[in-house]
A and B are shown apart, each in its own frame.
Chain A
């Protein structure tokens, strides 16, 4: 890891009417590392990710890109990628590659889809659709790649494959940010964790550092951190430690 910061969020908040989805979150996204966002459903992971991407404007706070100059700064895999029907895998990759003067065959090889390049996108399994989404996210070699639930709903073998690809993306020098509920895989893959609860940043640090605080595997760490946070929120003013 070079330790360079590629993306910085300062006090970002997102509200929808009376509901606060993300509250005053500040964090850095380092290069050469996988940063995992974990938290229960509705904790604000996806909203935070979308604000870091720039597709959602924060209600307050700022997000700044500090990475190297690039034609495309951020790659993005949405939670449920869907591609325009009526096109083959190669044509779909070709469309995105053409927007950044990239090679669609290189992108498909990168995620292992070269064998199904002529298959229509409507004939892809959920896992293969996700892989095509990752191929698209890599078009133009963006320094930062953000993946929202890249393995949700997939079988263990496909989940494993996707996390292996995620790891290799970071090994190639990029900053990778992912939201996931696949805690064992996140534990193996992520270099750094950001724990969110009810829109608040509960804790951030390396997997090992967080485990040291609570002991046990990540899912126990995760539960312990959330319990601590809930206790802090519930405690009367002046009694919080």
Chain B
């Protein structure tokens, strides 16, 4: 299914291409400026890791899929338009190896753009926050760098899922123009469309008892719910999750896996 050598060839080309594209460096800088700006405007770094997560969560929830779509919306549409996919059809390169290699290369780029500024923000918190944040949490109600690492890990999962959705839409697009339109539409659906659909469902079957589960079915809702449950509420005694944790985890993994398979099948048919 996936041939390691050819997967690596495709992956290395993606990474080289990313390193040579200055736009991505600019995206990383903008991301860092936005995150540091929001965190410092809210006073998060001086307050600790959890206050910093509170200050940046909403921005990260929107920024991550935006960056994922910027990195991925032309990932498959471009080579399809260039005729590269037709040429590669004549090579002993499986679609899984090709899409996997392109995805891995762009995922590495996306994670560099997202994770490096977040890590830098974590270091900033470590050097500016009060002494109560320098200990590792051994019980609920204590701020800790582990909570910030959890936040980054959940953000990585959210970013990877958003990127596969961008890949699926790119593979379905068939042209650069449609790739842009589908990318913007997909971004809107992820950032606001999912929540709106769930809240609209309150009139047609979604109840207050099933609202948490319904919110966890969308990528953004699952990510937000997991951050609240695994990061913010850990430091706040007496609060419990508003989405079922296992549903949220499965939801993100489902979006990640399903849309990757969809992107590969759509590339095969392109």
Residues of A participating in the B interface, judged by any CB pair closer than 8 Å = 50, 53-55, 71-76, 78, 80-84, 86-87, 91, 95-96, 98-100, 136, 139-140, 142
Task: Give a binary string over B1-40; 1 marks a CB under 8 Å from any A CB, 0 the rest.
Answer: 0000110010001001100110000000000000000000
CB-CB < 8 A to A78: which residues of B? Answer: 83, 86-87
Q: Say whether, besides A95-B9, A99-B93, A136 and B17 are in contact (CB < 8 Å).
A: no
Q: Say whether, besides A81-B83, A99-B6, A140 and B91 are in contact (CB < 8 Å).
A: yes
- Identify the closest chain A residue to B21 (Cβ): A86
What's the nearest-Cβ distance from chain A to residue B46, in Å? 42
Decide if B17 touches A87 in the complex (CB within 8 Å): yes
- Identify the closest chain A residue to B13 (Cβ): A95
What's the nearest-Cβ distance from chain B to residue A82, in Å? 4
Q: How far is B82's CA from A99's CA once the two chains are assembled, in angstroms? A: 19
Decide if A84 touches B90 in the complex (CB within 8 Å): no
Number of interface residues of B (CB under 8 A): 20
CB-CB < 8 A to B17: which residues of A? Answer: 84, 86-87
The reply to whether the CB of B92 lies closer than 8 angstroms to some CB of chain A is yes
Q: Is the interface of B mostly helix, strand, loop or mixed?
A: helix
Q: Is the interface of A mostly helix, strand, loop or mixed?
A: loop
Q: How far is B18's CA from A87's CA once the two chains are assembled, in angstroms? A: 11
Task: Give a binary string over B151-164; 1 marks a CB under 8 Å from any A CB, 0 the rest.
Answer: 00000000000000
Decide if B92 touches A100 in the complex (CB within 8 Å): yes
Q: How far is B209's CA from A68's CA once the two chains are assembled, in angstroms? A: 66
Decide if A53 touches B84 in the complex (CB within 8 Å): no
- Identify the closest chain A residue to B89 (Cβ): A55
CB-CB < 8 A to B20: which residues of A? Answer: 86
Question: Of the candidates B6, B13, B86, B93, which one forms a contact with A76 in the assembled complex, judged by CB atoms under 8 Å apart?
Answer: B86
Q: How far is B6's CA from A72's CA once the two chains are assembled, in angstroms? A: 14
Q: Which 4 A-B pairs have the closest CB atoms?
A: A82-B82, A98-B9, A78-B83, A55-B86
- Identify the closest chain A residue to B18 (Cβ): A86
Task: Give a binary string over B40-57; 1 marks a CB under 8 Å from any A CB, 0 the rest.
Answer: 000000000000000000
- Identify the closest chain B residue to A81 (Cβ): B83
- Identify the closest chain B residue to A54 (Cβ): B89
CB-CB < 8 A to A76: which residues of B? Answer: 86-87, 89-90
Can you offer 25 A-B residue contacts whose CB atoms are under 8 A? A53-B86, A54-B89, A72-B90, A72-B92, A74-B90, A75-B90, A76-B86, A78-B87, A82-B82, A82-B83, A83-B84, A84-B13, A84-B17, A84-B82, A87-B13, A87-B16, A91-B16, A95-B13, A96-B87, A98-B5, A98-B9, A99-B9, A99-B88, A99-B93, A100-B92
